[in-house]
Structure 1
Amino acid sequence: MTAQPRILVLAGRRSSTLDPLAAKLGVSHKCLVPVRGEAMVGRVLRIADEAFPEAPLFVSVEDFAVIADEPTVKRLHAAGRLTPVEAQHHIVDSVVAASETTGFPLLITTADNVLMTAEGLHAIVAEGVRGDADAIVMLAEREDIMAAHPDGQRRFYKFRGGGYSNCNLFWLRSDRALKATESFRYGGQFAKRKKDAVRALGLTTLFLYLSGLVTIEGMFRHFSRRFRVRLKPLVMRDGRLAIDVDNERTYRVAEEILARDAA
């Protein structure tokens, strides 16, 4: 049986401005957007609960009252399974602050990761338990994502051998792994913001990436040297895992995939 991890779901608002998708669907937070009739944060917590029925669950949100009445949130909190932690202004600070309450090893995901599966959760935890990595990042290849849905993703990290997208699933062995989270302080969409990429990754790393000469494994070895922690990619064949709900397009995609699965 796979070890029971600590699981953190990031559900806070990134800014004081109302998310466009939340505004369109009449809710205060994107995490409350309903996907096939179920709020995203409730769906993600339900999947985590079903995958690891004894694991401590945590949700990072700036005001727990915002989500407290969502049925799954309410049930898990009443049962003592779910602990709220206060979200910070930046996602990196939210993870660092939450880790003081959650402890380690820690599995991190986001409330908009509605296509997350129990199999994906078990896979990253099992890889973490049996390996020596300080942190693991789950990714999927472009071809598998496109096979799941042709509109699932439009931007990919391009390496020698293929394009990849992350699955918003991260496993941290200990607080040592928090060093690597600093790479996300200036945002993870480095292809759009080169200055932020240089600040986060350094010129050598950015050159390796832009050259297209390095494999994804080679890049993670370079990351490990830069941050002085052992970082490892875990590539999954289920392309759905790399599709989260960011906007109206991916909302439609998620609804279509879940409807197809139900049928």
Structure 2
Amino acid sequence: MTNVPPGWTALVLAGQRPGVDRLAAHFGREAKALIPVAGTPMLGRVLRALADTPEIARIIVLAQDAPALLADPALAWTTADPRIIARVSGRTISGSVLDAVNDPAVGLPVLVTTADNVMLTPATIREFIAGTGASDVSVALVERGRLEAAVGPNRRTWLTFRDGAFTGANLFALTGPAAANALKFWERVEQDRKSVFRLAAHFGPVLMVKLLLKRMSVRAALAAAGAKLGAGVAPVLLSDGRMGVDVDKPEDHTLAERLLAERG
């Protein structure tokens, strides 16, 4: 690890599941990551935000066809930035991230985000990094009131706890060695990522009942889940409500374009 330069490594998950991606097909593209939003490919927006963040030392694009993505003419600017490289992903998302973390040329700390996280800004990245503490894994969340104040009522996957409802912001930090335990666990349960109830079932009946009855705060729930899998896990609550918006559906695309236009 001594040869790894200081700073964060950002992993950008830009692959897609087997078969035709419906959103990519809707916009006449083979790759979802290259769908234009407000005139710029989604992946390009995320890479620009990361490249403009001083704390980010390396940026790795993970996808089945990562070199082809960066070869897109709209991303030609990335060839001039030696921090940005392509890496072919493995069979699973979490397994690919784990392989990268275990690479001596990468090391920790690692920030993980997705190519459709088009509302990402350097200010949010720095806020998130500053919010990571002593835990092995930090998870960026947006509180429902903040999101709805920023974008209006919105259909999201809401995780409801004693202190409110939250949605993910597709932003994670891996900062401690036990983060590997979390990645190995996630590889086993990836298929249940959209359901808080199915996810909770993997942690045992006591924790599941507490979650169902909303007996736990979001911080306590993540700490308890982390204890089950042998890693410290904590939330980082973001101030920008727009960070709860990613682009999975045509209506998300419409909303993202409106928000980017408003932001200028």
Q: Report the TM-score when normalising by structure 1.
A: 0.89
**1:69 match:** 71
Q: Which residue of 2 aligns with 1:113?
A: 117
> Which residue pairs with 2:209 in the alignment?
207
Task: Verify the 8 A CA contact 1:186 1:197 in the aligned structure 2.
Answer: no
**CA-to-aligned-CA distance 1:21-55 (integer Å, 9 cap, x gap):** 10011111111110011111111001100113761
Of 94-103 and 67-76, deviating more is: 67-76
Tell me whether 95-104 or 162-171 shows the greater mean CA deviation: 95-104
Specify whether residues 21 and 82 from structure 1 end up closer, same or farther in structure 2 by C-alpha distance, changes over 3 A only: same
1:79 shift after superposition: 3.3
The amino acid that maps onto 2:119 is L
**Superposition map of 1:179-190 within 5 A:** 179-181=181-183, 182-183=185-186, 184-190=189-195
Distance 1:100 1:86 in 2: 15
Question: Aligned-pair distance for 1:98?
Answer: 2.3
Residue 131 of structure 2 is aligned to residue 127 of structure 1 = yes
Alignment partners' CA distance in 2, 1:52 and 1:70: 25
- 2:70 partner amino acid: A
Q: 1:104 aligns with which of 103, 108, 130?
A: 108
* C-alpha contact (below 8 Å) 2:50/2:122 kept by paired residues: yes
What is residue 231 of structure 2 aligned with on the other side?
229
Aligned to 1:238: 240
* Paired position in structure 1 for 2:3: none
Question: How many aligned residue pairs are there?
Answer: 254
Query: Aligned partners of 2:177, 2:228: CA distance in 1, in Å?
Result: 17
User: How many angstroms apart in 2 are the aligned matches of 1:106 and 1:216?
Assistant: 23
Q: Which aligned runs of 4 or more in structure 1 are off by greater than 6 angstroms?
A: none
TM-score, scaled relative to structure 2: 0.89
Partners of 1:18 and 1:161 in 2: how far apart?
39
Residue 152 (structure 1) shift: 3.8
SS at match of 1:51: coil
Q: Gaps (5+ residues) in structure 1?
A: none
- State the alpha-carbon separation in 2 of the partners of residues 52 and 114 from structure 1: 19
2: CA distance, partners of 1:91 / 1:120: 23
Give me the whole-angstrom Cα distance separating, in 2, the residues matched to 1:176 and 1:256. Answer: 40
Extract unaligned runs of 5+ from structure 2: 1-5
Per the alignment, residue 10 of structure 1 pairs with 13
Q: 1:145 to 1:195 in 2, by over 3 A?
A: closer
